[in-house]
Amino acid sequence: MPRRLSTDSPTPNPEERCRAYRRRILEISQQVTALHIAPAFSCTEIVDVVMNEFMSEAEPQDVFLMSKGHGCMILYVILAERGILSVDDLVDYCTPRGRLGAHPDFGVPGIAASTGSLGHGLSIAAGQAYAERLKGSTVRVFCVVSDGELQEGSTWEAVMTASNLALANLVVIVDNNDFSGLERMSTGHPAMYPITEKFAAFGWSVSECDGHDHQKLRRALGAADGRRPHVVVASTVKGRGVSYMENENLWHYRSPNAAEFRQALTELGNPQP
Amino acid sequence: MRNRFAETFYEIAKRDDRQCMIVADISPAGSMAKFRDEYPRRFVNTGVAEQVMIGLAAGMSQRGLRPFAYTIATFALYRPFEMIRDDLCYQNLPVTVVGIGGGVSYSTLGATHHAQEDVAIAMSVPNLRVLAPTDPLEVEAMTRWCATQEDGPVYLRLGKAGEPDLTADLEEPWKFGKVRTLRRGSSHCIVTYGVITKLALAVAQALESRGCSTSVVTVPTLRPLDRTGLIDILSSHSSVSVVEECVSRALGIEVEAMAHRAGLAGKVSKFSLKDEFIHCYGAHDEILAAHGLTVERILAELLEIV
């Protein structure tokens, strides 16, 4: 197995940057098949905008917590691009010599919490945000949750508590890709909708946007009113960027074969596998 | 125990602003109310919502605070069990989960409030240290230890109220991971922990009056177990009994296995709560009796052995 991945360098163009992230994730899928591609592709722009544009780099640094732990591939590639993880970490993904698994582990650089079991991350993020407020810091906590995760009762315990504590330094982004592991959320669980109004009813400030549009994400993230927790309900497409993966739940945890891989790279603007 | 815990926590937290108390809709007994009133920012009541109580504590500890999560034992350990396992134990965070009314202390409230399996469950989770104080004096020592240790999560199993101090005369203070000898005999040894120690002492007294020299040893640290201390006890007594206010898969089974491995099998008898839900309401000792834990029954069985 080569000890390298593609040498896409960071680009200031966000659309191209996100295509490069997707290509990198696909390359990993040709080494190890244990990864969630489509759930990472649905939140690629979300994580890109939050990490590359919204989080402070000055100390004390803001926190990014991936509550939908199965979306961690996008987090890993961004952390590797920033040098917080190494390319070797990506090469050794899901192998006994590495330290990155199919769900993120607290203790690994850049990982704010061990997630993977849904419904945990938002409570932890709320605790982190509350601690930062007690310490008088300006640290903000950004937390990405899945729409499926909103079915966990514990998520709503956290939604309520974050509002009771008026956690103005907590920003949550719902990766609303309309799929859980089994089915389309909106047809299987229609009572979950509308989502935004539920957060608003709990006292959050709320925004909605297209979760693949950088400009709209920026506006929605920036709409926090500074007095209470803020949620961005971002409409996304599971498997976004590769035509045969989009809205095809098969790709929740499947890796492409060689031909599918070549096609995906071509669609993502790189004909050279 | 409840009040001593609150008093001790208040004294520590007054001087250490990392100390926080997260409760889930439990009335703040004794000094807990004082802490809430004087330091409202460090006291959070999540309401009837135990999962977020644990998750919040996990996040706070990751950012440098030292939270205690506190409510009735069943709601502290069972309801948010996966949060304790994943958020606290898997991430190995220094958070103390305090379970009030461990065992069947809430004797009139029925099995929904009986933490009759708590120690057995807590002993099985990696990274979780399990403490069950013998008396209010140990509650004080353990609370101080929990507040200052940095190594990982703790389940602190408390009784309720009115427990007597039983360790006041011991020369050595409580030490994490060590058994304590309350009474030294030569023939039989009763090994126990927590509130039921009082009953164990009564059994020992009765055995002694019938000519059987009896030790009583408490195991306030259930995890990690003091294996050396327990093997010493097994080696130095002709028989050992384990008396515990928990279902059978907690300390008794560990001591029995230890004896087996050490070539001392056959020495150990076990007295625990029944492995069943009982539909019985009354005083604490009446519920213990319904589970077969009375001085008379234990004494009668031990007299057959010793």
Here the ipTM equals 0.96
pLDDT band at A1 (very low <50, low <70, confident <90, very high): very low
Note whether A235 and A209 are within 8 A (CB). yes
pLDDT band at A270 (very low <50, low <70, confident <90, very high): confident
pLDDT for res A10: 59
Q: Which residues of B touch A163 (CB under 8 A)?
A: none
pLDDT for res B240: 98
Residue range A199-209: mean pLDDT, rounded: 98
Burial class of B162 by CB neighbour count within 10 A (0 to 12, 13 to 18, 19+): exposed
Note whether B159 and B139 are within 8 A (CB). no
Q: Residue B36 and residue B286: Cα distance in Å, rounded? A: 35
pLDDT for res B265: 87
Residue in chain B lying closest to A60 (CA): B63
Q: Residue A267 and residue A261: Cα distance in Å, rounded? A: 10
Do the Cβ atoms of A114 and B46 come within 8 Å? Answer: no
Three-state SS string across B196-246, please? HHHHHHHHHHHHHHCCCCEEEEECCEEECCCHHHHHHHHHHCCEEEEECCC
Do the Cβ atoms of B59 and A129 come within 8 Å? Answer: yes
Q: Which residues of A touch B75 (CB under 8 A)?
A: none
Residue range B287-293: mean pLDDT, rounded: 97
Residue range B288-294: mean pLDDT, rounded: 98
Q: What class, spelled out in words, does domain A14-267 have in CATH? A: alpha beta
pLDDT band at A6 (very low <50, low <70, confident <90, very high): low
Q: What is the pLDDT of residues B18-28, one digit of tens each?
A: 999 999 999 88
Residue range B198-218: mean pLDDT, rounded: 98
Which backbone phi and psi does A235 adopt, to 5 degrees? -75, 125
Asked if residue B136 has a cis previous peptide bond (ω within 30° of 0), the answer is no
pLDDT for res A273: 46
Considering only CA atoms, which of B128, B213, B133, B117 is closest in space to residue B167?
A: B133
Collapsing DSSP to helix, strand or coil, B124 comes out as: coil
End-to-end CA distance of chain A: 15
Residue A9 confidence (pLDDT) above 60: no
Residue A7 confidence (pLDDT) above 60: no
DSSP structural state of residue B25: S
Residue in B55, B62, B91 closest to A158 by CB = B55
Residue B281 confidence (pLDDT) above 60: yes
* C-alpha distances out from residue A152 to B3, B46, B135, B243, B254, Å: 35, 17, 39, 40, 36
Q: Is A269 left (phi over 0), alpha (psi -120 to 50) or beta?
A: left
Collapsing DSSP to helix, strand or coil, B170 comes out as: coil
CATH architecture of B180-305: 3-Layer(aba) Sandwich (3.40)
pLDDT for res A2: 46
Residue in B41, B44, B59 closest to A128 by CB = B59
Considering only CA atoms, which of A188, A187, A179, A154 is closest in space to residue A235?
A: A179
Q: Which residues of A touch B (CB under 8 A)?
A: 106-107, 112-114, 117, 119-120, 122-132, 134-135, 153-154, 157-158, 160-161, 164-165
Residue in chain A lying closest to B90 (CA): A114
Do the Cβ atoms of B83 and A154 come within 8 Å? Answer: yes
Considering only CA atoms, which of A212, A273, A265 is closest in space to residue A243?
A: A265
Residue range A99-123: mean pLDDT, rounded: 98
Q: Which residues of A touch B40 (CB under 8 A)?
A: none
pLDDT band at B176 (very low <50, low <70, confident <90, very high): very high
Burial class of B297 by CB neighbour count within 10 A (0 to 12, 13 to 18, 19+): middle
Q: Residue B104 and residue B113: Cα distance in Å, rounded? A: 8
Q: What is the pLDDT of residues A138-177, one digit of tens each?
A: 999 999 999 999 999 999 999 999 999 999 999 999 999 9
Note whether B32 and B21 are within 8 A (CB). yes
The residues near A97 (Cβ < 8 Å, ≥ 6 apart) are none
What does the mean pLDDT of chain A come to? 94
Residue in A123, A130, A165 closest to B51 by CB = A123
Closest approach of B62 to chain A, Cα-based (Å): 7
Percent of chain B with pLDDT over 70: 100
Dihedral sign, Cα of residue B176, residue B182, residue B183, residue B187: negative
Q: What class, spelled out in words, does domain B2-157 have in CATH? A: alpha beta
Which backbone phi and psi does A211 adopt, to 5 degrees? -80, 5
* C-alpha distances out from residue B56 to A232, B83, B217, Å: 21, 10, 37
Please list the residue range(s) of chain B that carry CATH number 3.40.50.920. 180-305
Closest approach of B21 to chain A, Cα-based (Å): 12
Q: What is the pLDDT of residues A28-80, one digit of tens each?
A: 999 999 999 999 999 999 999 999 999 987 888 999 999 999 999 999 999 99
Spell out the domain ranges in chain A.
14-267
Considering only CA atoms, which of B83, B197, B78, B81 is closest in space to residue B132?
A: B197
Q: What six digits make up the tokens of B242? A: 């384990």
Residue range B279-285: mean pLDDT, rounded: 96
Residue B299 confidence (pLDDT) above 50: yes
Q: Is B263 left (phi over 0), alpha (psi -120 to 50) or beta?
A: left
Q: In what order do the strands lie in the sheet with B221-223?
A: B43-45, B19-23, B66-72, B96-100, B154-157, B129-131, B221-223
Q: Residue A182 and residue A252: Cα distance in Å, rounded? A: 9
Note whether A261 and A273 are within 8 A (CB). yes
